[in-house]
Chain A
Amino acid sequence: MSTQDTSLPRRLLLGSTAAAAAGGLLTGFGAGSLRSAQATTQIPATELGYRSFYGQYQSGIIDAQQEHAVFIGWDMRWREGSKNQSKKQQVQALLQMISDDAARLMSGRGVLADTEPEMAQPPSELTLTVGLGQSLLDVIGQGTVGSMPAFANDELEEQYQQSDLLIQFCSQDPTVLHHAVRAVSKNLRQLTTRRFVQTGFMRTMPGADTFRNLFGQVDGVNNPADQAREQAVFGEGSWIPNGTTLALRRFEMDLDRWDEVDVTGRDFALGRRQSDGSPLSGTSVNDPVDLTAENELGLPRIAANAHVALAKPGHGGETIHRRGYNFDDGQHAGLLFASYQSDPRSSFIPVQHRLAAADALNTWLKPVGSALYAILPGVDEGGYVGQQLFS
């Protein structure tokens, strides 16, 4: 974790204002290393937890993943009438307001008209990451990311499908997160209707980027790091410079039936061992997934329909950066799959088609939500998110 983090803060620091924010940024990217003695001794506790709203990229994408997240999708409620703004102007005003809210909240301040500004402190790595559906790109008249195609095993529910607007809220503190969500939602009332609220949680494993999903599996192995991550997310094929896309899928897990599967069957379906995440073709978690490895009988160690066999990028261009969360909404539990990639048409979508057709894990997975968003570029100091689309 710590090695890949060192390259990130310097660039994003350029856009930050206060010295406090700068100190916060450094700690922000060290979220995974906060547990290390080094980080805690060098940085005063009072400066912990700030990430900058301003920078080349939006925060909450390639920076260290926070433990709590809320993804909220809103649909526009257009205001009609001759005295009012055009649809494009309404989107612009909305993005300006969200930017003002996000900049304040991420720096630990309440929003305008905030009734509980005290709850914004300390921001605890709070990030707000803003995306638009193709519907709003069409209103603005710029940008193409398309929409999420149907996949073979989809059992989608209306409420978890594509919305016009999406904000990914993340923080280490669920109370701070709740305040941020509520503060922003209050301001969006009357301008929008809320389609979904998807809440997630995870905890990175010590010294790693991975976490346990609710199947018990080590999730996030083989996620790209450092420059490979930046390339996968913001590299060639992106719909706009310094912007990216978010694929958001909601997979319910049938945990009762998963209980019936012994560990050998579980490992076979995934292609990795539940115990430590190591591939069946190797012995440690970071060993490569070798689809040609055979056992003593000459049979493949990793089955052709094992999850890792189908998910493995066929080429570098298929690489995605996963930033997903576990969810349990009281009725269902599962994985809130979230991945960032420069061009989903050449990465996420073909990989998901392979998985939807044959993944051995599909037996216990039910995809109920699916959406694709254009994630806007980073924001210049004093600017607003999406500004590049209106100039």
Chain B
Amino acid sequence: MTALVLGFGLLLTGCAQSAPATEQSSASATSTTAQQGTQAQALTTSDTWAKAAETGMSAAFGKLHNSADYPVELHQVTDAQGDEIQLHEMAGSGQDMSMKQLEGDLVIAPGAEVELAPGGNHLMFMDLKEPLVAAQSITLNLEFSDGSSTTVDFPIRNFDGAKENYDEHAGH
């Protein structure tokens, strides 16, 4: 398990959107494998973006909303350039919060929204095979526990935060 310790309080507040964000339903539910009643069908996304980076690690963020009356379980994320992309979550509380690879799926409860944000849950590129260049976007394939999948565009932006020092050699 990759893990690290961070002071999360400040980071979290920094990510809060103060203004009411208009829901921008992405093309997420239009994948070929998406069918009526699938988890892919239930997902809407907004404010998705990925952090620009030439090499090494990076991360992707956004709001994932479950519009269905059943849970959505994000199982795996892939991209066309074959990057290893992990789902990361926060664990612990107070001063002892840490970031680690999610055990199992990222579950979005019926009607709920999960925000992936710097200092919070996020999608982690472990070692980029190609640069992520600002103003371009990267398409991620989101695969769910019921076998359905969908693609979501993540515009790439410059961001100096999210410099968490992931220790790849930390024990799981």
Q: Known A97-B134, A187-B134; judge A112-B155 contact (CB<8 A).
A: yes
A109 at the interface (CB under 8 A from B): yes
- What 1/0 mask marks residues of chain B from 19 to 33 whose CB sits below 8 Å from any chain A CB? 101100000000000
Q: Which residues of B contact A226 (CB under 8 A)?
A: none
Q: Do A85 and B18 have beta carbons less than 8 Å apart?
A: no
Known: A97-B155, A100-B155, A189-B158. A110 touches B17 (CB 8 A): yes
Could you tell me the distance between the alpha carbons of A85 and B130 in the complex, rounded to whole angstroms? 13
* Interface stretch of the complex, out of B47-55, B83-91, B143-151: B47-55
Q: Which residue on chain B has the smallest CB distance to residue A116? A: B14
Q: How far is the CA of A186 from the CA of B130 in the complex (A)?
A: 22
CA gap between A51 and B144 in the complex, in Å:
41
Contact A189 B18 (CB under 8 A): no
With A79-B133, A84-B133: A113-B19 Cβ-Cβ less than 8 Å? no
Interface size for chain B: under 10, 10 to 19, 20 to 34, or 35 or more residues? 20 to 34
List B contacts of A112 (CB < 8 A). Answer: 47, 49, 155, 157
**Which residues does chain B contribute within 8 Å of A94, judged by CB atoms?**
135
User: Do residues A113 and B133 form an inter-chain contact, with CB atoms below 8 A?
Assistant: no
B82 at the binding interface (Cβ < 8 Å)? no
A190 part of interface (Cβ distance < 8 Å): yes
CA distance A107 to B22 in the complex (A): 10
Contacts of B133 in A (CB 8 A): 79, 84
A288 to B159, CA, bound (A): 55
- B136: interface (CB < 8 Å): yes
Which residues of chain A from 112 to 154 have any CB-CB distance to chain B below 8 Å in the complex? 112-113, 115, 117-118, 120-121
- A83 at the A/B interface (Cβ < 8 Å)? yes
CA distance A93 to B155 in the complex (A): 10
**Interface membership of B92, Cβ < 8 A:** no
B161 in the interface (beta carbon within 8 A) = yes
A121 B18 Cβ-Cβ under 8 A: yes
Are B47 and A118 in contact (CB-based, < 8 A)? no
* Residues of chain A within 8 A of B51, CB atoms compared: 113
Contact A187 B135 (CB under 8 A): yes
**Does A96 lie at the interface of the complex (its beta carbon under 8 Å from any beta carbon of B)?**
yes
B80 CB to nearest chain A CB (Å): 12
Please give me the residue from chain B that is nearest to A95 by CB atom. B135
A191 within 8 Å of B by Cβ? yes
B130–A83 contact, CB under 8 A?
yes
Interface of chain A, helix or strand or loop or mixed? Answer: loop
* Residue on A nearest B51 in the bound complex, by CB: A113
Interface code A80-111, partner B: CB below 8 Å = 1, 0 otherwise? 00011100001001101100100000011111
Contact A121 B19 (CB under 8 A): yes
Q: Digit string of A180-198 for contact with B (CB within 8 Å is 1, else 0)?
A: 0000001101110000000
Q: Which residues from B are CB-within-8-Å of A113?
A: 49, 51, 61, 157-159
Flag if A118 contacts B18 (CB, 8 Å).
yes
**Contact indicator B47/A96 (Cβ below 8 Å):** no
B103, chain A: closest CB distance, angstroms: 28
A residues within 8 A CB of B49?
112-113
| Least CB distance, B93 to chain A, in whole angstroms | 24
Q: Give the contacts of A162-188 with B (CB-CB under 8 A).
A: 186-187
Name the CB-closest residue of B to A112. Answer: B49
* Inter-chain contacts of A111 with B (CB < 8 A): 157
Q: Is the CB of A97 within 8 A of B17?
A: no
Hey, which chain B residues are within 8 Å of A83, CB to CB? 130
Indicate which residue in A17, A85, A96, A190 contacts B52 across the interface (CB closer than 8 Å): A190
In the bound complex, what is the Cα–Cα distance between A94 and B156 (angstroms)? 11
Q: Is the CB of B14 within 8 A of A93?
A: no
Which residues of chain A are near B14, meaning CB under 8 Å?
Answer: 115
Q: Are B157 and A190 in contact (CB under 8 A)?
A: no
Contacts of A97 in B (CB 8 A): 134-135, 155, 157
Residue of B nearest to A120 (CB): B19
CA distance A96 to B51 in the complex (A): 17
Contact B135 A109 (CB under 8 A): no
Contact yes or no, B157 A187, CB < 8 A: yes
Binding site for A on B (CB under 8 A): 14, 17-19, 21-22, 47, 49, 51-52, 61, 130, 133-136, 155, 157-159, 161
Partner-B contacts on A (CB < 8 A): 17-18, 79, 83-85, 90, 93-94, 96-97, 100, 107-113, 115, 117-118, 120-121, 186-187, 189-191
CB<8 Å pairs between A and B, sample of 9: A84-B133, A90-B135, A93-B136, A94-B135, A97-B134, A97-B157, A109-B19, A117-B17, A118-B18
Closest 10 CB pairs of A and B: A113-B157, A112-B49, A93-B135, A97-B135, A113-B159, A109-B19, A118-B18, A112-B157, A108-B19, A94-B135
User: Other CB < 8 Å A-B pairs besides A83-B130, A110-B19, A187-B158, 6 of them?
Assistant: A97-B135, A97-B155, A107-B22, A110-B18, A117-B18, A189-B158
